Structure 1
Amino acid sequence: MTTSPEPVIIVGGGQSGLAAARAALSARLRPVVLHVGVEPVGSWPDYYDSLTLFSPARYSALPGMAFSGEDLDRYPCRDEVVAYLRRYAGSVDADIRNGVRVTAVHSRPAGGYLVHTDTGDEIAAAGVVAASGSFGNPYLPVLPGQRHYAGELRHVAHYRRPEPYAGKRVIVVGAGNSAVQVAHELAPHATVTLATRAPIQFVPQRIRGRDLHHWLDVTGADRLPRWVLTRLVRHAAVLDTGVYRDAVASGLLARREMFTAFIPDGVVWADGSREPVDAVIFATGYRPHLDYLAPLGTLEDGMPRHVGGISATHPGLVYVGLEFQRSFSSNTLRGVGRDATYVVSALAAGMSGGIRGRSRLTRRVSAPR
């Protein structure tokens, strides 16, 4: 096998990094995966205990390895995904280094990069794949009075289980899957209100007896390009078998328009009323965790400048696992493999073709998607 004299550094050892490592091996590159965790399973062990995939096992696998078990229509739980990624990492014959945090990436005048780590290492790399995900960078909005709020305030990234909230008054902020799933789990233990800026949009989990992901797959909707998706998908939606919709309709889950401010013991609602609240959990999403790329100047307000995962500013730099990177499923188990193959193929072409390869890479970046 012909390999690059210098490795391609893959930052992150979760689903995106593992998919990128497999794609790099197929492209005859030499991947080195640097992962901050103790084992290459990404952030999955840190999600809340009851988390369950919204896609069935048959539509949730990375390239080259299906989920085990006979019932591929089941919805894998968090710990099953962790076990799956552990097996997957073992099947990828790449240099995976755990417990290593990338602190900075610098470009070299003659091409390529120097990757700095918290262990003091400086690794020369022919290319860099940023696959560090977003779980480490939860987005927490700041509202008036928030600094003086005396109750518990946290992002859903730091929520684990409902029992600590027993008997409390809790607001869950958000209108997506995580917000509704956590609020529904809390409801038997606490008084829960969902705070959203618009009514919750429910999408049927099953249509004509088949899971929604079957239809996304056979129609090709799961692979629609980003420019189409941004026109079609305007608001967060919740996949639902009917349980969540019924909970809202019955009043088990109260829903109110987003509050406007905090007070020391609670919140001020949009209608001006005040309510004491013991805890507020923000399920307000995440932002790419890419601070190590700041020295390159490729980030704008923390977001990478890219087209389809290929850097628009630096040859030899690509991304995997960004939300809506190339399709609806880009940052999911079922879709990240397609993006990994795409960007790594472009990376390999640029590395092997010299000036001609870089020209080809530039044409790819410039092409509309």
Structure 2
Amino acid sequence: MTVWIRIDGDAATVSDVAEPRRGATFATAIVEAHGALLTWDVTAGMRFPDAEIHSPIEAEGWLADVYGDGVAEAVRAGKQAELALPADAELVDAARALALLTWAHAWWPAGVYTPAVDPAIIAAEIAVAAHALEHVLDDPDAVERALTGAIDAPSALASAPASLRVEAGALADAIADLADDHGVELQPATLDARPEDWALAASGPNMPSHEGTEVGHGSSPVRWADVPAQTVAADSDAQWSLRSVGGAAHLHLTVAAASGASRDSTLRARFGPEDLDIDVPLALTGAAFTGSAEVAASVALLPLDDRTLWVRDPLVAAVPGPAESETDRDLVREFAVARLDDPSASLAERIAGARV
């Protein structure tokens, strides 16, 4: 039997018939707990999570610590109830902190106007947060998996701004201890100039100059769900230009890169209907991913509705999905910007904010 917990303000509704919220995936922070999935809408200021409890028996060990005894009893009894949430829940803030860390790792909207967060520092913080919640988490390898993503964290933390160096040193010590316990070898700290690695996209994605005569141009939004986080700038559209050069048609594509984007990214862009088979690899050049291809002259005659551009990482997205709400994306970007100087935000977020 599935039991739902819905949070509305300072009350929790427990029910076995309620429909779960279906917010934007990129606005949802998640913790996979024993017997349940906990979710927070990052734009809604939620402290307590909604929950889909698929095994009340497995969830028994942590339910009261997150939601209080009343909610735990209602779930145990399988009855519908609306109950006040406790003011001093033991685990809810730790669980929310972990959820926001994993959200930032998966969805941080780095772009031209929002600085990137260092994924190694985020992974280090996830490892520490997951270690404190191992008795709650469904994944027994969560800490070790996070540590493997944090192998470069010692160097990243060594170059933290002076105002955050004490916290960075404490985190470095904590992950060193965890790494020893889990048999994970971290890279030793170096003082290479990392900040310049995270200042790539300081200007907008200007369309590069090309020869010939432009016969068409346009832009398309890039779905965040179709590319890894911090690859494509989350506040820029992909742009295309069709030019006639010596009687041949050439398609030129560009999309701004997030600062710190990997040159190993496997981005591709499909222009027009699928049956045209115009699929162009994009390579990171300076502050943008770019690509070009010679195409049939008839491409210039495509109807406006067919002049579409789909940018994706084939390892992430196999087919085009529905358009993402620009309102939801704006709210997420606003949330991310607010985190940059929020004392309660993660160290990685505050380091990114200190470097702006």
Q: Which range, TM-score by smaller chain?
A: under 0.3
TM-score by length of 1: 0.22
Q: Relative contact order (alpha carbons < 8 A, sep ≥ 6): 1 or 2 greater?
A: 1
Structure number with greater Rg is 2
TM-score by length of 2: 0.23
Q: Which has the higher helix share?
A: 2
